[in-house]
Amino acid sequence: MFDSAPNSPNLQALQAQLKEHPNLMAAYEKLEPIILQVFDATRMSLFQKRAQQQDLVARFKTGAETKEIKVPISPASIAGYVAMSQQPLIINDPYDDMQLLNIHQRLRFDKKFDKASQFKTENILCIPVMNAGVMMGVMQIINKKGGDFGHGDLETAMEIADMLGDKFRYELGGTKSPFDYLVLRGQISETEIEEVTKLGDVKQIVNRLTSEHRISEAEIGSALSVHYQVPFIDYLPDNYHMYQGNSKLNLSYLKRNFVAVIADAHENAIVLMAEPNNAALLMEIESALGIDSYEIAVGLPNHILKYLGENVGGSGPGDMDEILDEIGTSGEEDEDVGDDLAEDAPAVVRLVSRILHDAKRLNASDIHIDPEKGAPTRVRMRVDGVVRDINQVPASHHNAVIARIKIMSSLNIAEKRIPQDGKLAFKMSGQPVEVRVATIPTVAGEGVVMRILATGGAMPIEKMNLSPRNMNMIESMIKKPHGIMLVVGPTGSGKTTTLHAILGYLNTPEKKIWTAEDPVEITQAGLQQVQVSPKIGFTFANALRAFLRADPDIILIGEMRDKETAHAGIEASLTGHLVLSTLHTNSAPETITRLLDLGLDPVNFSDACVGILAQRLIRTLCPSCKESYEASEDDVAFLKRQYGEEYFDELGLGSSIMLQRAKGCDNCGDTGYKGRTGVHELLGMTHELRALVYKEAAVSEMKAQAMKDGMRTLTQDAILKVIKGDTDIAQVQILGGHD
């Protein structure tokens, strides 16, 4: 073993090589033999932390070749564990699983590299490479000749790691202290930053920088990101939410240490820390988190506390996690609490209010309160058609939350055995919001699904994103003085929005319009809107008969649920009224056979029907980050196959087709999508189609005739939206099978 003193010839030679070469890898060829000679070892690896990433890249040499491997910073590997713990490690026998388990329960030695190279790893000295308190990489020395690594080797390795750390720091473009980048950018002087950082507490430092020195939070975040070499995440509640795992981390611990475990739209876990170089804290979090894969990011203390539910002002009912903390999630749950907890307890009232406010803020269409046996109740919301986990409610408080929702909806709180339906309303920013409530008993307890009803006026028909052909056809159909027009599709496909857009177009002073809806979601001045109530016998059919005595021009029937309503609608359309209604069918041609199956007279229906519009909602690309690309041969082949070879030329596309694709940014929560748009299939009743309806032809025959008459399917319309740049091929693939 060579002397490890700073004036050791080997260490001086090492220092000289580092100074002589512009970067570490350029010096590698000269460094490796020196370091191996220092330790009298066979092999070494240098792991460098990738900038802004939670992994290491190892450079190691076999013969004349330098290879690279990537290792996550986690306890699952020796290098990953040393990087995470920032503590050196001597492993005398990496094949001894018990030795590794005694260090950490997840620590393993990957034997595949030995097997691939016919090399046997006998012992390992692994040292973190640090600089300015930040982990920059790992040095691994393998197979000391004639014995095991000892304390002297460890001291020498630490000295070499310090020398390498300076070089790593230089290459990564980091800074000596967390706020040096602000000095470099001229936003504060060195003297001022020294004065501020004397405060010690990171929250006080950030507050002083923002309040006294007028430095933006984004600039401070950038400085922290450069120093710690991890991404900075701002407070973006629409893009990130609290991670819902089996974490044993309680809220008070997280607040005290300025740590939040959050998730993005893809449910990827991110540990957000004010000081991500705190290895001891990170090891505690990793142990309690219970997951193998997560990212690490830096956040400002104030932002982290917001994610954790600290009330940051405003008139809302308080943040979710603050309320959960209040009702006891930070301590051990008492399973007996639920029976005694009142549904009007202040925390429960605020909790339900917070759920409703969050749903409206996220523009969710539905809220799901899902009980689970022996586990917390999941609160999930459907945003842009996709269900997302938002939060959890302790199992002990499930009954109180359900009871509170039932009271708000005027339901029977004592009845827990049968489903119940109701309605509640709340105010957000002074505007009333109506919610349809359905309770359903499950084996784990009562579940609740709440549909947030559309508020405000009708959408203008020109904003429905109809193709030019469909727009022209609809305008001519609804100008007819009588007949029936149907909008069809599954629940949540935007049928009510479309019908009210049509009514908004027709709503003029000379027209008398009656609507029967369940519930009345969208209100328009000039319409007479009626809420049906089947519970008291006031059905759609009854409302329709009443309307016929009330001198209508146009009648909207919320849904043709049964034969009686369908018959009444057809009769009303044949007696000089324009009738609009909806039906739950998958396509326009299929709607005809469904109504005939209900027992409608084919002649009457074909004479009455002016058109059937089938629709779906698909996700649209985020306008802030979508990117153009030239369609590949496979893309073009897919478009042709889905649109139909015989129709493809009508699109008038050239040899080069430019499409758009999802990328992901802060505005869309890194999903690449924001909002939804309709895709439509509009069938017009022609003489040829009427003849097929008269003889009750098969759906395939009617579809073929409708296509000949100009109808384009839902998938074809979706492809038009792809070419237009509203959406991407992935959404067409999801839509597939609905024609």
DSSP string, 84-116: HH---EEES-TT-HHHHHHH-TT----THHHHH
β pairing state of 431-442 and 420-428: antiparallel
Note the pLDDT of residue 338: 39
Note the pLDDT of residue 52: 66
In the chain, where does the domain assigned CATH 3.30.450.90 lie? 320-332+339-452
Mention every residue, 6+ apart, whose C-beta is less than 8 A from residue 241: 262, 263, 388, 389, 390, 391
In the chain, where does the domain assigned CATH 3.40.50.300 lie? 461-619+678-712
- Encoded amino acid at 190, one letter: E
Mention every residue, 6+ apart, whose C-beta is less than 8 A from residue 624: 665, 667, 668, 674
Band the pLDDT of 3: cuts 50, 70, 90. Answer: very low
Band the pLDDT of 502: cuts 50, 70, 90. Answer: very high
- Encoded amino acid at 686, one letter: T
* 127 vs 426, residue with greater confidence: 127
pLDDT tens sequence across 87-108: 999 999 999 888 888 888 888 8
Quote the CA–CA distance of 184 and 202 in Å, as a whole number: 20
- Encoded amino acid at 214, one letter: R
Contact, 524 vs 457, CB < 8 A? Answer: yes
Instruction: Quote the tokens at residue 471.
Output: 């727009």
Q: Provide the angle, in degrees to the nearest 10, between the axes of the packed helices 346-361 and 398-408.
A: 70
DSSP of 357-419: HHHHHTTEEEEEEEEETTEEEEEEEEETTEEEEEEEE-GGGHHHHHHHHHHHTT--TT--SS-
Quote the CA–CA distance of 710 and 117 in Å, as a whole number: 66
Compute φ and ψ for 370, nearest 5 degrees: -110, 110
Query: CA dist 266 to 52, 288, 588, 669, 670, Å?
Result: 19, 22, 35, 9, 8
Mention every residue, 6+ apart, whose C-beta is less than 8 A from residue 605: 570, 592, 595, 596, 693
Note the pLDDT of residue 312: 44
Mention every residue, 6+ apart, whose C-beta is less than 8 A from residue 711: 588, 681, 682, 683, 684
Q: Could you tell me which of 496, 516, 703, 692 has the C-alpha nearest to residue 596? A: 692
Instruction: Quote the tokens at residue 728.
Output: 């991407």
CB atoms < 10 A from the CB of 90, how many?
Answer: 18
Mention every residue, 6+ apart, whose C-beta is less than 8 A from residue 440: 419, 446, 447, 448, 449
Note the pLDDT of residue 47: 84
Least confident of 77-86, 311-320, 392-401: 311-320
Band the pLDDT of 612: cuts 50, 70, 90. Answer: very high
Instruction: Quote the tokens at residue 495.
Output: 């049928």
Q: Does domain 461-619+678-712 have CATH number 3.40.50.300?
A: yes
Compute φ and ψ for 10, nearest 5 degrees: -65, -40
Quote the CA–CA distance of 601 and 678 in Å, as a whole number: 31
Q: What is the pTM of this model?
A: 0.57
Fold of 320-332+339-452: Beta-Lactamase (3.30.450)
Compute φ and ψ for 240, nearest 5 degrees: -130, 145
Note the pLDDT of residue 228: 84
Look at residue 434 and tell me whether its pLDDT is greater than 90: no
pLDDT tens sequence across 552-601: 999 999 888 888 889 889 989 988 899 999 999 989 999 999 999 888 89
Contact, 273 vs 299, CB < 8 A? Answer: yes
Look at residue 739 and tell me whether its pLDDT is greater than 50: no
Note the pLDDT of residue 368: 96
Quote the CA–CA distance of 216 and 212 in Å, as a whole number: 11
SS (H, E, C) 404-450: HHHHHCCCCCCCCCCCEEEEEEEEECCEEEEEEEEEEEECCEEEEEE
Quote the CA–CA distance of 465 and 347 in Å, as a whole number: 44
Compute φ and ψ for 721, nearest 5 degrees: -70, -30
The overall average pLDDT reported for the chain is 84
Q: Could you tell me which of 171, 158, 95 has the C-alpha nearest to residue 130? A: 158
Look at residue 7 and tell me whether its pLDDT is greater than 50: no
Least confident of 137-141, 664-668, 692-696: 664-668
Note the pLDDT of residue 181: 82
Look at residue 738 and tell me whether its pLDDT is greater than 60: no
* 429 vs 632, residue with greater confidence: 632
In the chain, where does the domain assigned CATH 3.30.450.40 lie? 9-172
Query: CA dist 182 to 71, 191, 226, Å?
Result: 32, 12, 10
For domain 9-172, give its CATH number from 3.60.140.10, 3.30.450.40, 3.40.50.620, 3.30.70.1710: 3.30.450.40
Look at residue 478 and tell me whether its pLDDT is greater than 60: yes
The answer to whether the peptide bond before residue 128 is cis (omega within 30 degrees of 0) is no
Band the pLDDT of 333: cuts 50, 70, 90. Answer: very low
Quote the CA–CA distance of 75 and 286 in Å, as a whole number: 9
